[in-house]
Amino acid sequence: MPNFPVRFDNYPIIDLSSNQFHGSIPISLANVTASYLSNNALTIFKPFLCTEQSYRQTSFLGLSNNMLSRSLPDCWMHWTELIVLNLENNKLSGNIPSSMGSLYQISTLRLSNNDISGILPSSLKNCTGLQLLDVGQNNLNGEIPTWIGEYLTRLVVLRLKSNRFHGSLPLTLCQLDSNQIMDLSLNHISGVIPWCFHNFTPMVFKVDDYSSIVSSYHVDGSGGYERTYVNNEYITWKGKDYKYGRNLGLLRIIDLSSNRLTGEIPKTLTNLVELVQLNLSRNYLSGTIPESIGKMKLLESLDLSHNQLSSKIPMGLVDISFFSFIGFVE
């Protein structure tokens, strides 16, 4: 990418996405309010991130689908105005740096599909405005931190899919009463499903306000510049991955599949009457399917296959009219 010889103070939004730019990111772009640099072949961004400046006004930084490699730089204390940070689909490695906890304004943090390892740093609990946290498809390990539920209470989307998290599901996750999508699949999580997993308000009540929380981010710039950022998310739906954009906020999903969960399916889980997908497959769940599952009339996809469930399939399932996928394979 050329090292632009100008300052971009008068250009609050720069969109250079979906080109063939390669190499490093020019330092001059650090003054831009919103930088769209995704879908290129960029490889180096540490100088761009870590060069000290008196003030950075960047609120959106999109660097997904590039070839960024090596460890995540530990200089996020210079980017305190960021609202959206998208680094997914790169080749980043190493740990998540503690300085990411300095992103006090962050609402969307996307680090999925990289090679990031280590644990989730406790400094992220300072990012109390987070509504979407996606660190799926990495090599993160350790237990799911209790502080996620204690401090990140505004989370609407929590995606920890396909990592190496272990231990039990912390009860503090039940404090995420704004949660709409929880995908913890393909980990090594053990223990029982907490009885309090019925506290997620959008999954219990029809709340229209939630439908637009994570669907878009609007950038207003001086001189009439404006741009809408749409949060896209790949959701495993009926066994296949689908990309959801503006309609993402309409989904209500819990996916705990491919873990090591034991015990019975909590009856309280059937209070999530707004849920459209429930996937508990490929665990070690035992006992019976709660008869009250018939209350979940909006379910379109239910997968309880590859567990140790017994007894009869409950008659309550006939009350669910929207089923297009159901899995009970032994």
pLDDT in tens, 223-257: 444 555 566 666 666 666 656 665 666 678 999 99
Residues 39, 19: Cα–Cα separation, whole Å: 7
Cα(190)–Cα(170) distance, rounded to whole angstroms? Answer: 11
Residue 3 belongs to a domain: no
Average pLDDT over the chain, rounded to an integer: 85
pLDDT of residue 224: 46
Kindly state whether residues 101 and 193 are assigned to the same domain: yes
Please tell me whether residues 158 and 105 are part of one structural domain: yes
Of 202, 237, 256, which residue constitutes the final position of a domain?
256
**Distance separating alpha carbons of residues 79 and 100, to the nearest angstrom:** 9
Statement to judge: residues 17 and 113 lie in one domain: yes
224 and 121, same structural domain? Answer: yes
238 inside domain: yes
**pLDDT value of position 88:** 95
Please tell me whether residues 119 and 71 are part of one structural domain. Answer: yes
Residue 160 shares a structural domain with residue 108: yes
What pLDDT does residue 316 have?
Answer: 74
Cα dist from 88 to 67, 116, 294, whole Å: 10, 11, 38
Predicted local distance difference test score (pLDDT) of residue 230? 60
**Same domain for 156 and 68:** yes
As a whole number of angstroms, the distance between CA 93 and CA 71 comes to 5
pLDDT of residue 34: 83
**Chain centroid to CA 69:** 21
Inter-residue contact 290 to 265 (CB < 8 Å): yes
Decide which of 239, 256, 273 is a domain's last residue: 256
Place of tokens 């090594």: 188
Q: Which of 207, 226, 256 is the last residue of a domain?
A: 256
Q: Do 323 and 196 reside in the same domain of the chain?
A: no
Encoded amino acid at 150, one letter: E
Q: How far apart are CA 73 and CA 46, in angstroms?
A: 6
DSSP string of 188-228?
EEEEPPPTTTT--HHHHS--GGGGGTTTEEEEE-GGG-EEE
Q: How many domains does the chain have?
A: 2
pLDDT of res. 201:
84
For 98, phi then psi, to 5°, come to -65, -25
Contact 87/103 with Cβ under 8 angstroms?
Answer: no
Q: Tell me the pTM.
A: 0.89
pLDDT for residue 36? 87
**Is 5 part of a structural domain of the chain?**
no
Residues 222 and 305 in one domain: no
Residue 293 forms part of a structural domain? yes
Could you tell me if 242 and 303 lie in one domain?
no
Q: What is the pLDDT along the chain (330 residues), one digit of tens a residue?
A: 656 555 555 567 888 888 999 999 888 787 788 888 999 999 988 888 888 765 577 888 999 999 999 999 999 998 999 999 999 999 999 999 999 999 999 999 999 999 999 999 999 999 999 999 999 999 999 999 999 999 999 999 999 999 999 999 999 999 999 999 999 999 999 999 999 998 888 888 776 544 444 444 455 555 444 555 566 666 666 666 656 665 666 678 999 999 999 999 999 999 999 999 999 999 999 999 998 998 998 888 899 999 999 877 787 777 776 665 555 555
H helix or E strand, kind and range, residue 287: strand 286-287
Look up the CATH number of the domain holding residue 274. 3.80.10.10
pLDDT at residue 285 in the model: 97
Residue 2 lies in a domain: no
Domain that holds residue 172: 13-256
Which tokens hold the place of 219? 């950038």
Contacts of 208 by beta carbon, 8 Å cutoff, 6+ apart: none
